[in-house]
Amino acid sequence: MTPEERRRHPRHPATWPLRLWLTERSFVAGHAVNASRSGVLAQLTWLPAGIVKLEERYVLEIEPGMDTAVKCPVVIRRLSLPTVGLESLQEIDVA
């Protein structure tokens, strides 16, 4: 692992639809750009500045298949709107 590379698992291209839950009733839709077992790079459809914050916890819901949805707690590690780098607090299993 190079000094710049902090990822624990390799990234793979992904195009899954997703929801970043801001509260129990409010979410922002988007899609995954790439993913690994420990995180997702997400492209969000909209996100006004100041709504989410670095190092804050949220819930990510991804839909890797037609009949499946996976929810996991995440922390925002990179914020470059409309792209958000999310680290999962549990391993993402979408096999």
Tell me if 77 is assigned to some domain.
Answer: yes
In whole angstroms, give the CA distance from residue 38 to residue 25: 25
Task: State yes or no: pLDDT of 6 exceeds 80.
Answer: no
b/e 48-67 (16+ beta carbons within 10 angstroms → b)? eeeebeeeeebebebbbeee
- pLDDT value at 19 more than 90: yes
Domain of 74, in residue numbers: 12-88
Asked if the structure places residue 23 within a domain, the reply is yes
How many structural domains does the chain have?
1
Contact yes or no for 65/13 (Cβ under 8 A): no
Structure confidence at residue 10 (pLDDT): 79
Please return the burial class of 20, using the count of CB atoms within 10 Å of its CB with bins 0-12, 13-18 and 19+: buried
Residue 2, domain member (yes or no): no
Position 2 scores a pLDDT of 44
Averaged confidence pLDDT in the chain? 87
Residue 8 C-beta-side C-alpha neighbours within 13 Å:
10
Q: What is the CATH number of the domain that holds 59?
A: 2.40.10.220
Radius of gyration of the chain (CA): 13
Does residue 4 form part of some domain?
no
Q: What is the pLDDT of residues 21-48, one digit of tens each?
A: 999 999 999 999 999 999 999 999 988 7
